[in-house]
Amino acid sequence: MNIGYIGIGIMGRPMAQNLIKAGHTLFVHNRTLDKCDPLTELGASVWTTPAHVAAMSEILFINVTDTPDVEAVLFGADGVIETGKPGLIVVDNSTISPVKTKAFAARLKERQIDFLDAPVSGGDVGAQNGTLSIMVGGEKAVFEKCLPLFEVLGSKITHVGEVGLGQTCKACNQLFCALHMLACSEGIALAKKAGLDPATMVEVVSSGAGGSWALANLGPKIVAGDMAPGFMIDLLCKDLNYTVDQGKQINQELVGTALAQRLFEQARTEGYGREGTQALYRVVEDSQTGRWKHEHAEETVG
């Protein structure tokens, strides 16, 4: 099958590689074209605009940073809409606004182009191993056409409902990611200051009721001082904005999420934005410098 993939980053590159390894012909584009080089070595064709990729594709995946980036790929100069043929399916693996997602889908539908919002979870490791969790919103029949491709990319693929609900499900996922990372950071800080070996605590708790993906996978990185990004704080801050905004729209107060959002934003302000989400630990650990203040919690829940 002729597949397009736009957005060759930490997640997009291994996902595109897995599609190539599954025997598909890939046409790829990235704003910085040389990031596509590893894919050309596997046989992918690199094109200079989204419009070129769309013209060659039966199904087109997008995996870019934010809502304006998706909008530019679809509707900007040399965008998908300029050359996308009726029957093209666009699959958005990005994490963006649920409201804008619905608007994008409606606009494409006018051109007989189908759209699925299919954000993913599982980090760069899941992308590399093809074990991502993929939450998909859109028409069931379109989902079923793309299911064999989703099965190449992930091990847990779920059709969650109409267009936009994939992004809503991802917003819930990011809520958990943020709160679990906060719990992981606090637990390691507590263990260390109490004289308990943090590595031992991580190993023990990871196998018990208090365990989480964050603790099992990022806890050891915190202990080792490894803050390299599988998923950057900058991106989680962006995602949490959408989560909190959606809560406001439907009158659902998200007290814990708002607190975590504030702390991740503080980490970003302190220069950790391009590090992994585990760098939140640096804010939590150093309570003596005023980074972790009770008044922040009062402002959030008040």
- The residues annotated with a catalytic role in the active site are 170
Alpha-helical regions (H) of the chain:
12-21, 37-40, 50-56, 67-75, 80-83, 98-109, 123-129, 140-153, 165-194, 198-206, 213, 219-224, 233-249, 255-267, 280-285, 294-301
Helix, coil or strand: residue 296: helix
Cα–Cα distance, 167 to 119 (Å, whole number): 6
Angle at 228 between CA 209 and CA 38, to 5 degrees: 115
Cα–Cα distance, 192 to 176 (Å, whole number): 24
Closest by CA to 91, choosing from 8, 1, 5, 21, is 5
Neighbouring CB atoms inside 10 A of 146's CB total: 20
Which residue matches tokens 């607190």?
259
Which residue matches tokens 């640096």?
282
Cα–Cα distance, 33 to 30 (Å, whole number): 5
CB 113 within 8 A of CB 88: yes
